[in-house]
Each structure stands twice: as structure tokens, then as C-alpha cells.
Amino acid sequence: MTPALTRRALLTRGAAALGCSAAVHPLTGTVTFASAPWERRLVVILLRGAMDGLDAVRPMGDPAYAALRPGLLSADAAPAIPLDGRFALHPGLAAAMPMWAAGELAFVHAVSTPYRDGRSHFDGQDLLEAGTAGDVATAAAHDGWLNRMLATVPGLSGDTAYAVGTERLKILEGAADVRHWSPDARIETSPQAEALLREIYHDDPLFRDTAEAAIALANLARPDTGTDRGAMLSRLMDRGGGRAVEALAAFAAERLYRDSRIAAFSMPGWDTHRNQPGAMAGGLDRLGRVLMTLKDGLGPVWEQTAVVAMTEFGRTARENGSAGTDHGTGGAMVLAGGAVRGGRVYGDWPGLDDGALYEGRDLMPTRDVRAYTAWLLRGLFGLERGVLERAVFPGLDMGDDPRVLA
């Protein structure tokens, strides 16, 4: 098995000898990939900072909602978009409404991890990625649920997973082999250089493996610009700044279009203690562009893809005095893709009356976020319920099938 290859390892173990040119690459954050013997694809997006599900998917039909958030609702530059008789979509996600109309976009409300009361981003994210039942100390030292899922599948190759970025995603850490590639350096080689590398290091196991990994990663990084789809993805991958997350999505789409079957990456910026109207509008606009990038980049493969965006916890039902909301409990998930049964809001709505709120302040969670994720994995990849409840999400009772897949 080829050892995990980080940019630091590559640079220290042979970049000078390889003669590769490194240039600053615009991708920031982390993307992880996994090859697997399935045709269906899964994309997991971690919304770091606790996205306010009550703002993203607004329960306008609940009589208590408007009284809890008069300032936030009056700050909208555009009206919310009706979804059904109860819920309306934040206008920041307007660009994704064609997906809703096509049955490729859905939401799940009033969900959470088993995490309660601490309301720490670090602890909440540990539990979200570990997928365990609620012991923060255990979760901090645990592997990730996506890695455990991969470990249950026999016969995966050495290229089971790729980690792309400067940040490590706990969700894919564990026993299943994951290679690491940092997108802050784009390695460029020529056919002649590749042939020379193989000849020079043929008899040296350490440098031979490093050279082969470098060649593979160099050829992995860019799509074929000879096609409209590839040219579009290549342009997006060259973006930076506030649009860098689209570059991550473009890279993910290119890999999923080919051999990879699972991708995970993170989107920060959802901690909205103040100036929530501006932060949510910008964050949801970026999320909408990410979803559209995945759809356009995957092309016909989109029909076999499910995207799930999840966050560590929700936010308080009441707005605070700084035009924002504070750390809460129940929140929302976003589902997208051609494999999703969209055009609806899933979940058991608990209501927002004072007596219905968790600890008198938060949306009451009515189902574990892991249950929806486990049913996605069962439907996409055919994993047995017992494996999901014991090995992938220890301590989980999946409950009834919510039928979120088409």
C-alpha cells in the first residue's frame, strides 16, 4: 500500500529531485474522495459554524415564528420563497429553486446530533464527524463515520480515498486508507519527465513510490479542457477569494464524474451571532453555487448522486440584540441530487411555542441527523441496517425509512 502522501512529505522526500514545478493553487479547505464499487455517488458538505436552519428554511406557517424574529425578517432584501404550506426558502438560495422544481432539492427540519447543552463548535463538529452517540471525549479521539463506512466494504483498492486541502476532515479519518493531497500546490510534469522519474527511481522503493504518487496526483488535478464540461470546471478551479468553495466543488465534480464515488468537503462561515442577514445571504448564495457547480460538473452522473449538507447544531429560535442568533440545538439538513426525492421538507415539526422549545430557547430536535444519513447510505450503497447502527453510527436507532431517495 502506498503510504499517505502529504505536500510536506512530497516536498521533503523528493520535490527537488523530481524537478516538478509548484504553483500556488486557489483551492482552500479540504475535500476528501473515495473510490468504491458503486455507481451511485455521495457528497457530504460540512457547514461549519452552525447554520441557522430556521432562517434557511423558514417555518412561516408557524404562528410563533414571526414574533421570534421580527428584526431578521424585516432585514430581507427580497421576500422568502414559498415551498409548501408551512415553509419558505431564504431568498439567498433562490438560484437553487430550479432544483426544487425538478425534484432534486429537499430539506430536513428539526434534526440534530446527540450533542446537547454544551453548544461548543469544536465538540459539536467532533460529534457530527465521528457519528457517535454523544460522548464528546470519545468523539474527539474517534475515527469518522464516513471512514468507518468505507472500512465495511471489502476489496477496496489503495486509492480508496483522497484528502485534498490543508485541513484534515475527521469524517474520513480512521482505518480505511486515505491519501492526502494539498491543493495549495499544483504539480506539473511532462511525459518526458514522468518517464525519467520512473527510470531513475525504479530500484528505490521509497522514491519510486513517491514519484509514482506525484505523477498520479499531477494527472489527477485538472479536468480535460477539450470538453465544455471540463473547460467550465477548469475555469472554476482557478477561482479564489470568496468563490474558492466553487473551486472545491469543481474539483469534486471532476473526480466523481470519473472514478471516485464519495466526496466530502467543508464550508465555513455560518456562525451568525451578529449581522445574520448579510452572512446568511452570502453563505446560502455560495451554497447554491456549489450545488449548481456539482450538478453542471457531474452532467449525466448527477442522476446517480445524492448531496447532503449538515451542520453541528442549529441556532436559537429567538433573535438576539445584535441582529443575529446564538448557539442552539435543532437545525436543518440540505439534500440535493438526481438520486434524491426532492421537492419537499422532511421531518416532524415540533412547533415554536414556548412550551415546545428545547430548554425554552431552541428548536426541539425530533430526529437524529445520523438517521437520515444512515438511510441515505443504505439506499445508495445497500449497506445492512445492522452494520449502519453498530459499526458506522454506533448506538443509533435508524427508525422508520424516511424515503429520501428517488
Query: Which three three-digit cell numbers place residue 319?
Result: 433573535
Please tell me the least confidently modeled range out of 160-164, 325-329, 352-356, 385-389.
160-164
Q: What span, in angstroms and rounded, lies between the C-alpha atoms of 247 and 237?
A: 4
On average, the pLDDT of the chain sits at: 84
pLDDT band (50, 70, 90) for residue 11 = very low
Residue 247 vs residue 184, higher pLDDT: 247
> Which positions ≥6 away from 121 have C-beta within 8 Å?
48, 49, 50, 271, 312, 327
Write the CA distances from 246 to 70, 80, 180, 279, integer angstroms: 33, 24, 20, 17
Instruction: Among 3.60.21, 3.40.720, 3.30.70, 1.10.10, name the CATH number for the domain at 7-392.
Output: 3.40.720
Residue 354, classified by CB atoms within 10 Å of its CB into exposed (0-12), middle (13-18) or buried (19+), is exposed
Q: Does residue 282 surpass a pLDDT of 90?
A: yes
C-beta separation of 293 from 253 below 8 A? yes
Q: What span, in angstroms and rounded, lies between the C-alpha atoms of 158 and 176?
A: 9
Q: Does residue 392 surpass a pLDDT of 70?
A: yes
The gap between the terminal CA atoms of the chain, to the nearest Å, is: 37
pLDDT number for residue 207: 59
Query: Which tens digit of pLDDT belongs to each residue from 228-245?
Result: 999 999 888 877 666 788
Q: Does residue 293 surpass a pLDDT of 60?
A: yes
Collapse the DSSP code of 367 into the 3-class scheme (helix H, G, I; strand E, B; otherwise coil) and give the result.
Answer: strand
Q: Does residue 187 surpass a pLDDT of 60?
A: no
Domain layout of the chain by residue ranges: 7-392
What percentage of the chain's residues is helix, strand, coil (to nearest 5)? 40, 20, 40
The helices-and-strands tally (H runs, E runs) of the chain is 16, 15
